[in-house]
Amino acid sequence: MKSYEYLCRILVSEFGARPDAITPESTPASVGLDSLSTAELIREMEEEFGIVIPNEQANFATLGEAAAIVDTLIEAEGI
């Protein structure tokens, strides 16, 4: 996953998540994100990778799922 490493870094540096709490199976809530901070995380990912995450894909259950969505969009854009 290209985006998973970035996702981990931003969760620690921008959102104050504990590195040991971050796994692909973690939910946004389990790393301390509420709905507003999850939306901000999505915006950060969109800006970093030059993609747009459609609303229907923005409701991911786990961090691994979020990274997979971003990787799929990156690949589709040919980035």
Q: What is the full per-residue pLDDT of the chain (79 aa) written as tens digits?
A: 589 999 999 999 999 999 999 999 999 999 999 999 999 999 999 999 999 999 999 999 999 999 999 999 999 877 6
Domain that holds residue 23: 2-77
> Residue 36 belongs to what H/E stretch?
helix 35-49
Q: The domain spanning residue 61 has which CATH number? A: 1.10.1200.10
The tally of domains found in the chain comes to: 1
pLDDT of residue 1: 56
What DSSP element (H or E) covers 14? none
Which region holds residue 78: left if phi is over 0, alpha if psi is between -120 and 50, else beta?
Answer: left
Written as one letter, the residue type at 77 is E
